[in-house]
Chain A
């Protein structure tokens, strides 16, 4: 069974500082991976996705993520955080040809931005 771990429940970062959110997955076959962001009381918005090819993927809002197969990781990064980046971030993994295109989500990381 596939699983996703986001080791950090909360992260506090100063505005303008860099941000890295960790995501580790467990899956026997080649996964596809997503990062979503959720503002309070809202749904999830897709930040970026990785299916194959270049292991460094660019997303919206200045975010990027790097897929490292050897480490089973898909960490999300942003060079300079803005106050509007305060939100909860979810990593998700899916499996090619899995029935129903189901995703497994990590528990989320809440990001707080200090002025």
Chain B
């Protein structure tokens, strides 16, 4: 079955350490997205990519970086510059055309040791 795979499910980071969250999709979708979810705040867009080798900042990009070397993959790096990284991170994908729903992975919960 097609879908979006996020790994790992749980991730722990030490202070000053960069960590990378994986997101892979086999839906043949052009667009991919990263969201951060905090209790009571809904989803906030970190980065998105409409096509391979191109991506744009979302609303809260500071302290994060991404790459899009393959259509199927959109990894997110949480850098040491992100001062409050503890959150639930969700990856999504959609066809590039507007009005199409986004499909979500099961998320990665990142915690600081």
Contact surface of A with B, Cβ cutoff 8 Å: 9, 32, 34, 36, 41-46, 49, 51, 90, 94-103, 105-108
Contacts and interface: CB of A to CB of B under 8 A. Distances in A.
A44 B42 contact: no
A46 B101 CA distance: 8
A101 B100 contact: yes
Given A100-B56, A108-B42, A43 B102 contact: no
B85 interface: no
Interface of B: 4, 6, 31, 33, 35, 40-43, 45, 48, 50, 56, 58, 90, 92, 94-107, 109
Given A100-B31, A105-B42, A41 B109 contact: yes
Contacts of B6: 43
The prevalent SS among residues of A at the interface is: mixed
Contacts of B94: 101
